[in-house]
Structure 1
Amino acid sequence: MIAWDPPGYGYSRPPERAYGKDVYKNDADLAAELMAKLGYNLYSLLGWSDGGKVALLMAIKYQSRIDKLVVWGTGATVTDNERKTL
């Protein structure tokens, strides 16, 4: 099991966390990059709250890498604008 905090979140300081319009998309890309660097080509995701939003975005953008997805305590929608940026 890999437990990950995005840069600037939780105990991963520094850097400071920037909350721009692409914050969840950026987190999804960084998490996918981390898993690739660790040698995981297929994995399951568990995401709570903001992590659930990141997991949903990863499941859209990196479909071939995601085996199972569990999210809770998060919004279950992706806006058309967010979908276009993927």
Structure 2
Amino acid sequence: MGENYNTLGYHLQAGDMISAVCYNRECQHGAPLDLKYLVEKLGPEFLAMHHTLTPLLYCSECKSKNVGIRLNVNVEQKVSPTG
């Protein structure tokens, strides 16, 4: 099987950033997740997906559990030079 591109370990190694975003209309706070910490606590093979991460998160500003995640891919490490 190939490499799993949906794990915390993969995103950490790739230099990607995952942010938590509050869906509370009055708040809408966002903050980057500490991927190194999450890999240490949850393991590198833990799936970095909405249904696995959001139950563990809450907004640090308003304390709402109504949060989502946003993946920001490090494009520079994904693109290989041509010829």
Q: Which structure shows the higher helix fraction?
A: 1
Range class of TM-score, shorter chain: under 0.3
Structure with greater Cα Rg? 2
TM-score by length of 2: 0.27
Relative contact order higher in (CA < 8 Å, ≥ 6 apart): 2
TM-score by length of 1: 0.27
